[in-house]
A and B are shown apart, each in its own frame.
Chain A
Amino acid sequence: DAKTTQPTSMDCAEGRAANLPCNHSTISGNEYVYWYRQIHSQGPQYIIHGLKNNETNEMASLIITEDRKSSTLILPHATLRDTAVYYCIVRGPKTSYDKVIFGPGTSLSVIP
């Protein structure tokens, strides 16, 4: 599976949009981008995933660049409860697609 790179940490003001970037420059055509988040000490929670089109659900929006080498997770109106570690994962059938490997993620702090 393609490797991902995320910033170690980010801050966001409460009520503002939080834009979390993920670089996956080696992604192949049949690999998906998945996002999860982990609120302190809890099990990770699925947020959203996409292949090449932008996606939106009740939690967030996922913007994937046209060349698919990077993506951005957008939390439109961040609240204090969005403070968490956010993981970007690329998954596809290239290698062992049954495994799900997490990277270090981005620690998002939403500031009052």
Chain B
Amino acid sequence: NAGVTQTPKFRILKIGQSMTLQCAQDMNHNYMYWYRQDPGMGLKLIYYSVGAGITDKGEVPNGYNVSRSTTEDFPLRLELAAPSQTSVYFCASRAGTGIHGELFFGEGSRLTVL
């Protein structure tokens, strides 16, 4: 199993550009999450999904959009990139229902907006 795969690993964007961060998991997990981590700071939840077709906002959703058309994929869309979105983005998934099940994280996508 590959686990949680994120692409791209690195990306530089200009202000106002848009892009999609890809996240795929091969563990048949229902739950998927997107976090961002600014330098020297903790993880902040952007969006999460409890299954295909169902998404919800986390702590810092502004400036982002998500979709979940399949169990495997959970892309994060950045519209009109801003310098404040410079961060490392982590995707995670977990099995289980409700509170149970540990998170499995991808290696991260490092985004710089100039």
Contact = CB atoms under 8 A, between A and B. Distances in A.
Interface of A: 31-32, 34, 36, 38, 41-46, 49, 85, 87, 91-93, 97-105
Given A43-B108, A46-B103, A93-B99, 6 more contacts: A36-B103, A46-B104, A49-B102, A93-B98, A100-B45, A105-B42
Scoring A43, A91, A104 by chain B CB atoms within 10 A of each residue's CB, the highest score goes to A43
Interface string B42-67: 11110010100000101100000000
Nearest to B33: A100
Given A41-B108, A43-B108, A102 B98 contact: no
Interface string B70-114: 000000000000000000101010100011101111111000000
A14 B81 CA distance: 44
Give chain A's interface secondary structure class: loop
Contacts of A97: 98-99
Give chain B's interface secondary structure class: strand
Interface residues of B, number: 28
A98 B56 contact: yes
The 10 closest A-B pairs by CB, nearest first: A43-B105, A46-B102, A102-B43, A97-B99, A104-B42, A91-B99, A43-B90, A97-B98, A98-B50, A44-B105
25 contacts: A38-B43, A42-B105, A43-B90, A43-B105, A43-B106, A44-B43, A44-B90, A44-B105, A46-B104, A85-B42, A87-B42, A91-B99, A93-B98, A97-B98, A98-B56, A98-B98, A100-B33, A100-B92, A100-B94, A100-B103, A101-B58, A102-B35, A102-B43, A102-B45, A104-B42
Nearest to A48: B102
A15 B11 CA distance: 40
Interface of B: 4, 31, 33, 35, 41-45, 48, 50, 56, 58-59, 88, 90, 92, 94, 98-100, 102-108
Nearest to B41: A104
Scoring B4, B33, B105 by chain A CB atoms within 10 A of each residue's CB, the highest score goes to B105
B74 to A, nearest CB: 14
Given A45-B105, A98-B31, A103 B42 contact: yes
